[in-house]
């Protein structure tokens, strides 16, 4: 079997997909994780074509090494996201060719289902509680929301946000008691002093974890936080390779690994990161804000991994992009279930998408503080 074509696609909301075709008629589909850099991803993948076309798609590790290292200079997050998309597609091809789900290629199932968390929200603590109640009554065991400052505008003041976030956590815990797990995504918006204050104040309410409490550029900054709070910490969604995870894993600066399969190098890299986490008793909580391919790939990894905390799932399967992916992985009452189809367990209709155009998706993310300075989205 040989690779005959590599196609890039983008949805109208920025989802970036890759289809790898072979001379046997079997294709694989992958997804890249940077929605506002789709044109850059397409160009990087175009640069991969000379050594992908004609290659054996079963040589996944070899092709990963060539894509990641073939430009000599480490490529960073854009290149890693492009590698991720192709890598996931190659695993899809191999599973289909061998007529088994991808998790069988990763060592087989370790669990029967994967617990997930939705994205909740609300402009006030009361509105948040009502939104959480809807997902709770639908069977979800977790609730999650992003930290905001409660102003209702595009500003974000750290101290105001920490105080508002505490009120949200209090309200949700008072409403549901211990029947629900609480996740708060700081989304890298706080600096060390403010995030330490926030973590220590919410600690009595027993959150499952606090996600991305600090900016990700310097993993060593987690050390101070780790020393001064016992709240579980989840980080990693912006790390683009196993090397970026090194310090946080080896120094045990996190409790939950937020590896993004569509950024960190696909299934090939994610399974290495997962094995590394296992040696430090760190659980997986894969980052998955994207489309059906990302969901399917994360599910395959979680089904085969021994330490899984929870899986992000803002859009339940068959609730979006059903024209592009008419078959998606199974889901029921807050759990993703093992797919029966081989490969990733999804089907792709490229006719429902257009090839990548010259139009990039959306403006840059970001909030400003009261004084007009920029802060993270």
CA separation for the pair 213, 132 (Å, rounded):
22
| Cα 249 from chain centroid (whole Å) | 18
- Token representation of residue 327: 């078959």
Q: Contact at 8 Å (CB) between 200 and 158?
A: no
Helix H segments across 281-371?
A: 292-304
Of 269, 237, 243, 236, nearest in space to 86 by CA: 269
Cβ proximity of 267 and 242 under 8 Å = no
* Distances, alpha carbon 235 to alpha carbons 2, 217, 257, in Å: 38, 12, 6
Decide: 280 and 250 in contact? Cβ < 8 Å.
Answer: yes
**Tokens 């992000």 found at:** 312
Q: How far apart are CA 159 and CA 136, in angstroms?
A: 30
Active site residue 187: yes
Least Cα distance to 28 among 104, 76, 98, 81 occurs for: 98
Query: Edge-to-edge, what's the strand order for the sheet holding 16-22?
Result: 27-32, 16-22, 3-10, 354-355
Nearest residue to 30 (alpha-carbon basis) of 51, 14, 8, 48: 8
DSSP collapsed to 3 states, 187-204: CCCCCHHHHHHHHHHHHH
Q: Measured between alpha carbons, how far is 271 from 277 in angstroms, rounded to an integer?
A: 10
280 has catalytic annotation? no
32 DSSP β-pair partners: 16
Catalytic residue (one of 15, 119, 187, 280): 187
User: Which SS3 state, helix, strand or coil, does residue 74 take?
Assistant: coil
- Which one of 62, 119, 287, 365 is the catalytic residue? 287
Positions marked active-site: 187, 287
């Amino acid at each position: 079997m040989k690779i005959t074509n590599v196609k890039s696609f983008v949805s109208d909301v920025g989802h970036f997909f890759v289809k790898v075709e072979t001379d046997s008629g079997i294709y694989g589909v992958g997804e890249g994780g940077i929605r506002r850099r789709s044109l850059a991803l397409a160009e990087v993948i175009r640069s991969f074509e000379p050594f992908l076309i004609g290659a054996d798609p079963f040589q996944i590790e070899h092709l990963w090494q060539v894509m990641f290292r073939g430009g000599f200079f480490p490529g960073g997050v854009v290149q890693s996201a492009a590698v991720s998309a192709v890598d996931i597609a190659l695993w899809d091809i191999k599973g289909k060719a061998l007529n088994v789900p991808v998790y069988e290629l990763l060592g087989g199932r370790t669990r029967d289902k994967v617990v997930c968390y939705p994205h909740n929200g609300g402009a006030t603590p009361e509105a948040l509680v009502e939104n959480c109640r809807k997902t709770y009554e639908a069977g979800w065991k977790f609730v999650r929301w992003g930290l905001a400052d409660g102003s209702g505008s595009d500003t974000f003041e750290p101290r105001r946000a920490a105080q508002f976030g505490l009120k949200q956590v209090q309200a949700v815990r008072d409403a549901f008691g211990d029947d629900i797990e609480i996740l708060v995504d700081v989304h890298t918006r706080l600096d060390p002093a403010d995030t330490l204050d926030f973590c220590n104040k919410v600690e009595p309410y027993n959150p499952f974890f606090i996600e991305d409490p600090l900016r990700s550029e310097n993993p060593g900054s987690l050390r101070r936080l780790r020393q001064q709070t016992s709240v579980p910490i989840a980080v990693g969604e912006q790390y683009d390779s196993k090397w970026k995870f090194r310090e946080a894993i080896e120094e045990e600066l996190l409790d939950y690994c937020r590896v993004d399969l569509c950024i960190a190098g696909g299934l090939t890299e994610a399974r290495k990161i997962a094995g590394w986490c296992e040696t430090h008793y760190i659980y997986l909580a894969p980052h998955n804000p994207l489309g059906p391919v990302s969901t399917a790939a994360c599910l395959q990894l979680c089904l085969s991994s021994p330490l899984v905390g929870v899986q992000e799932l803002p859009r339940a399967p068959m609730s979006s992009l059903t024209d592009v992916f008419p078959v998606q992985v199974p889901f029921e009452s807050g759990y993703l279930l093992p797919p029966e189809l081989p490969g990733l367990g999804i089907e792709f209709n490229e006719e429902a998408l257009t090839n990548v155009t010259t139009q990039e998706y959306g403006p840059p993310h970001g909030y400003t503080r009261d004084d007009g300075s920029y802060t993270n989205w």
